[in-house]
Structure 1
Amino acid sequence: MTEHRAQFDFSIGFANGGGLDGHGFRLDLPSADLDEHAIGRLLVAHLGLALVRDVRLTDLRIVEEPHRGSRGVDVPASGRAARVVDLSHRIRAGLVTYPGLPAPVIRPHLTREASRERYAPGTEFAMDVIELIGNTGTYLDSPYHRYADGADLAGLRLETLVGLPAEVFHLTDAWSPNERGIGAAAVADRGVRGAAVLLHTGWDRHFGTPEYGRGAPFLTEDGARHLIEQGVALVGIDSLNIDDVESGGERPAHTLLLGAGVHVVEHLTGLGDLPPRGARFTAAPPAVEGFGTFPVRAFAEVPAG
């Protein structure tokens, strides 16, 4: 489905005095046939303004451009079946997810050849053993990962893991090698209560290479605080870690999010294939008691366009 955005300059006057001006502003549109007044109303909703007296738009252009997730702009569903987008890295023997952590080892418990002696002619099975650390591939952190008295994997409620509204923030241009932190300002333009906030940084392109472990983007402390205050249910990122692992031993994002009962999913991939909003996100680990982190098959259901 072709998506459209409006580009314009604006001037807003308030009933109680004062005004607000903006230049080169861009706003998601539910359709391309809206007039200036309708776009003005969307702008007011996006900015969350009250007591607005008048809105003037100039240099208005409608452009074909993917949506970025403007607050207050609802895009109608098509009614067609959803497509499913896989957001997980594949796990294989020897895979290095996080530098310094052990790679998975896969070995047979019962080979197909040996199983033929146990079953009827023509019937055979393979039974295998995998040894891996929980921090392998795309995985979810429960509060127990950080806190001894926090909920472990078996203690997580399924409704906090399955079918969450996905608010995807496309942030490939919001950080740089010198400014790797993603702060509150980058995720403050829409409501996220009860949602899975997915941070698309583009760092997943380095997964499985030495470059993946150095210079990765992360969520800052103030970014984590903001998301908690807004009532987020889960935060995921397509990067090495949700924290900065190169600035010492403190882990403020893990500490704050898991302390507030917010699940963390790291090493996602494919977030660039998701719309800013409208998808449903699922990342459910097995219910392992006394365990804090485990790989998930994370995916999103996206309404067909």
Structure 2
Amino acid sequence: MALTSTNKIDLTHLLDPDNISLYPDDPAFKCCPIATVSNDSYSVHSLSLGSHTGTHIDAPSHFIEGGITIDEVPLEQTTDRKAIAVDLTYKKGGEKITWEEDLADKLAALSVNLEGLVLLLYTGWSKYWGTPTYTESYPFLDRRAAEQLLFRGIKTIGMDTLSPDQIDGPEGYGVHNSILGAGGLLVENLNNLSALVEGETVAEVMVSFVPLSLKGCDGSPVRAFGWKVWKD
């Protein structure tokens, strides 16, 4: 049986200092030329950014004392992962994504073994990237939903929002603590997830989130991409 793959879909926001959304109080992103071809015969830029700038991945050490750091995350956990994408674009800013109302029936309808899959939560919030709306109010995941996903073997969750948790919400950072505490990974600020949920439902979705190998660091910006595979 032959396999047919689609072209790679870039799931990454462009890192542009003039058009970026940052978590409150995170370091600013700067990309400044320090040498140019016209003046120096070569080009070099100076970079300054936080470990959770742009489309990025959280290592367990982001929230868990003694958790593994981004350089210790095996490549097998970040590359060529089978995934499922769930359409949640009906959720509004500030609304909670729950297990009972938003995920249980959708995942059951897929009739697949969830063990080891990456779950992509497509809210459509990436359209607000670079605007106050992106950080002020976005759909967020309920801790109980995260615990239900862990129970079913899902330990990597990706979202097209600033965070799976509400900023300084009344429930704290339960999703971060649950997923990262189980040795899982969180991928935040994804883009173009619509391309992985639209079209043929028989496609197998694959994703990669490639971090920098930063010694002892709690996360890293990534180049994220995905593709669909059909069985002919």
Q: TM-score category by the smaller chain?
A: 0.7 to 0.9
Which has a greater percent of helix? 2
Counterpart residue number, 2:17: 93
Counterpart residue number, 2:92: 176
Counterpart residue number, 1:40: none
Call closer, same or farther: CA 1:158–1:228 in 2, change over 3 Å: same
Gaps of 5+ in 1: 1-76, 117-124
Distance in 2 separating the partners of 1:84 and 1:236: 17
**Aligned letter for 1:286?**
L
**Aligned letter for 1:295?**
P
Equivalent residues in 2 for 1:251-266, closer than 5 Å: 251-266=173-188
Equivalent residues in 2 for 1:1-305, closer than 5 Å: 79-94=3-18, 95-116=20-41, 125-173=42-90, 175-177=91-93, 180-185=95-100, 186-188=102-104, 189-190=107-108, 191-248=113-170, 250-275=172-197, 278-303=204-229
**What secondary structure sits across from 1:254 in the alignment?**
helix
Question: 129-138 or 245-254, which moves further after superposition?
Answer: 245-254
Q: Which has the higher contact order (CA 8 A, sep 6+)?
A: 2
Whether the aligned pair in 1 keeps the contact of 2:126 and 2:161 (CA below 8 Å) is yes
Give RMSD over aligned pairs: 2.1
**Aligned letter for 1:89?**
H
What displacement does 1:114 show?
4.4
Whether the aligned pair in 2 keeps the contact of 1:219 and 1:243 (CA below 8 Å) is yes
Gaps of 5+ in 2: none
Whether the aligned pair in 2 keeps the contact of 1:145 and 1:293 (CA below 8 Å) is yes
With structure 1 as the length reference, what TM-score do the two structures score?
Answer: 0.67
Whether the aligned pair in 1 keeps the contact of 2:196 and 2:227 (CA below 8 Å) is no
Q: How many corresponding residue pairs? A: 219
Distance in 2 separating the partners of 1:257 and 1:198: 14
**Aligned letter for 1:279?**
V
What does the per-residue CA deviation read over 1:18-55, in whole Å, with 9 as the maximum and x for residues that have no partner? xxxxxxxxxxxxxxxxxxxxxxxxxxxxxxxxxxxxxx
Whether the aligned pair in 1 keeps the contact of 2:86 and 2:120 (CA below 8 Å) is yes
Distance in 2 separating the partners of 1:101 and 1:286: 19
Distance in 2 separating the partners of 1:157 and 1:165: 16
Distance in 1 separating the partners of 2:53 and 2:171: 21
Counterpart residue number, 1:48: none
What displacement does 1:289 show?
1.0
**What secondary structure sits across from 1:273 in the alignment?**
helix
Distance in 2 separating the partners of 1:233 and 1:159: 13
With structure 2 as the length reference, what TM-score do the two structures score?
Answer: 0.87
Distance in 2 separating the partners of 1:163 and 1:114: 42
What displacement does 1:246 show?
4.8
**What secondary structure sits across from 1:253 in the alignment?**
helix
